[in-house]
Amino acid sequence: MKKLLSYLVPLKGKKYKSEINGQLELNWYEGKLMLDSKNANYSYGALQRALSVGLQGIGKIKVKQANSILILGMGAGCVIETIRKDFQNNGEITAVEIDPVVVDIAKKYFNIGRFFKVKIVEADAFEFVKKKDVSYDLVIVDLFIDKETPSQFSSTEFLNNLENLIAPLGSLLFNTVNIRGKHSERNEGIIKLLSKSGKVEVLEGVEGGNDLILLQKN
């Protein structure tokens, strides 16, 4: 019933309290269940649409043919749904999510287990990229606490470790916040560092609030 009514008016759903993300909400909008933080969409709404635009920017064939994919910041798994359904990718996916509350929500309400060849890792993405010695054809970074990306994810240490995880000729989609219609100083630093590894493109103001930094590695 909520699904049908949500086509007429957005409906608030169950609320959760997370030590990491604060207040989380399950809300219905236009027939779709979404996960929201206090001030932002976390999964299956504007965020899913924005990440889909970024993946299209990388290239449908390239995404489809990626044999290994790393997602830093899984949320409830909307980008996994997009990769599988819209890009027909059958590769191995490793999804890193620090918040156990979010992982539980993804399993209970969004049936994340329906997707094959997906490994969920409950870990801090900053520490995860330090320790990994494998490479991925596609890396997606979507690391937010509410509307902010923690500062460590724009540090030189993190970006260097991240770049080392991208396979030769691999791709990166890095979701950042659009501030008053322009790049932030932080984003300029990310772009400058990543440009040393290959071709960088920025899709500005996607879904109104996201700047998507795309890297095609040499």
The per-residue pLDDT for 27 is 93
| Number of structural domains in the chain | 1
Q: Is residue 33 part of a domain?
A: no
Structure tokens at 152: 């460590």
Q: Is residue 161 part of a domain?
A: yes
Structure tokens at 148: 């902010």
Q: At what angle do helices 156-165 and 185-194 cross, to 10 degrees?
A: 40
Structure tokens at 198: 């290959």
Structure tokens at 141: 């970074």
Q: Is residue 141 part of a domain?
A: yes
CATH of the domain at 158: 3.40.50.150
Question: In terms of pLDDT, which residue wins out, 186 or 2?
Answer: 186
Say if strands 68-72 and 198-206 run parallel, antiparallel, or are unpaired. Answer: unpaired
Q: Is residue 168 part of a domain?
A: yes
pLDDT per residue as tens digits for the range 71-110: 999 999 999 999 999 999 999 999 999 999 999 999 999 9
- Active-site choice (86, 142, 146, 211): 142
For residues 6-17, one letter each, b for 16 or more C-beta atoms within 10 angstroms of the residue's C-beta and e for the rest, the string is beeeeeeeeebe
Q: Is residue 86 part of a domain?
A: yes
Residue 179 has pLDDT above 70, yes or no: no
142 is an active site residue: yes
Residue 138: give the domain boundaries: 57-217
Global pTM reads 0.94
Q: Is residue 179 part of a domain?
A: yes
Residue 180 DSSP SS3: coil
Residue 123 CA to residue 57 CA, distance in Å, equals 28
> Which conformational region is residue 69 in: left (phi greater than 0), alpha (psi within -120 to 50 degrees), or beta?
beta
pLDDT per residue as tens digits for the range 51-72: 999 999 999 999 999 999 999 9
The per-residue pLDDT for 131 is 87
